[in-house]
Structure 1
Amino acid sequence: MNRFPITLLTLAGLSVGVGLAQTSPITLALVQELVRTVTVNGKTSEALTPAPKSVVPGDLVRQQLTATNTSDRPINRVVLKLPVPEHATYIAVERSDVPGEVRTEFSADGGKTFGLAPLKKTVLITENGQSVHKEVTVPPSEYTTVRWTLNQLPARAQATVGFRMRVD
């Protein structure tokens, strides 16, 4: 099986937004880790390989984004978006380390629209010889972007969000 570099995502693909009339003293750090299941002395656990040089289709990768408020003031309504890389399939959100309340939303259209899981979409199908619009659930494997909205990021605080994905 051919291995390929894990250039799945760079910081250029990330975005952060803050409430209106505020400048952003937020720094971002992205960490990608290869997730392997290992068994030692009969106990199964996960081994994480930070910044793997390459991956193969089927590998599980954990992607985490840490936002740091470098100012001495809290920042309200911080929005973090993390796209699912082109050659990967979204699996699940990682448990977030976020101070305060956070809203997690998903997109299946490249980040144009967001909603809470499970996402719904309208499709055109044929029933009894007639075309009808029907609302269906979007499978998580079709999610393209994840967005977290933090009510507030305290002064000098960090928030870490992320998800797991399978390499295609």
Structure 2
Amino acid sequence: MKRLKLTLILSAAGVAAAQTASPVSLSLVMSLVSSVKVNGKDTEQLTPNPRNVLPGAVISQVVTVRNTGGKPVRQVPVTLPVPKNTRYLTAEKGTDGLQAEYSIDGGKTFAPAPLKQKVTVTENGRAITREVEVKPSEYTSVRWVIPELGANDTLKLGYRVQVK
């Protein structure tokens, strides 16, 4: 099987960090998600910053947003692209407190799930436009807008992807 260098995926950290100005700092941690047996039970194990991953591997991306200033900040946008050679799976557990918005056009437009798009199909020789639901695997970016982040507060946001 072909191995994918994780450095391709780490480029998402720079994109997320470039969006915010002081006093907000972002820290992205990517972890390989594995299933292991502990005391006879299937348990999830996270391996931070793996060097190589195989197709089919699941990666957890969690960004920690920290307000390092002395005052609350409002309407803080945090956008993470879905890395190339991966497909979006689901929101990360424990980060459900904030509504995510998704993009299918590389981050130009965002909307809450489920996303819809118009497609034109031919039926009986006539072009018909229909609205269809977009599969999460087609998402290209995820964005959260933090309404307020208090002084010295932190918040974790994230999602999981699968390597193609």
Question: What TM-score do you get using the length of structure 2 for normalisation?
Answer: 0.92
1:46 aligned residue:
44
Which of structure 1's runs of 4+ aligned residues deviate more than 2 A? 15-18, 95-98
Residue 130 of structure 2 corresponds to residue 134 of structure 1: yes
CA drift at 1:40: 2.6
Partner of 1:12: 14
8 Å CA contact retained: 2:95, 2:158: no
Of 40-49 and 81-90, deviating more is 40-49
Residue 160 of structure 1 pairs with residue 156 of structure 2: yes
Aligned residue for 1:25?
23
Pairing 1:116–2:112 present: yes
In 2, are the aligned partners of 1:17 and 1:78 still within 8 Å (CA)? no
Aligned to 1:149: 145
Q: Which protein has the bigger helix share?
A: 2
Secondary structure in 1 aligned to 2:71? coil
Q: Any stretches of 5+ residues in structure 2 without a counterpart?
A: none
1:113 CA displacement: 0.6
Residue number among 100, 103, 106 corresponding to 1:104 in the alignment: 100
Q: Distance between the aligned counterparts of 1:134 and 1:6, measured in 2? A: 38
RMSD value over aligned CA atoms? Answer: 1.7
Other-structure match for 1:55: 53
Query: Secondary structure, in 3 states, of the residue corresponding to 1:111?
Result: coil
Partner of 1:82: 80
Q: For residues 87 and 112 of structure 2, what CA distance do their matches in structure 1 show?
A: 18
Q: Tell me the distance in 2 between the aligned counterparts of 1:91 and 1:102.
A: 17
User: Per-residue CA shift, 1:35-89, capped at 9, x if unaligned?
Assistant: 0011233201101111101101100000011111000100011110010001110
Q: CA deviation at 1:95?
A: 3.0
**Structure 1, unpaired ranges of 5+:** none
Aligned pair count reads 162
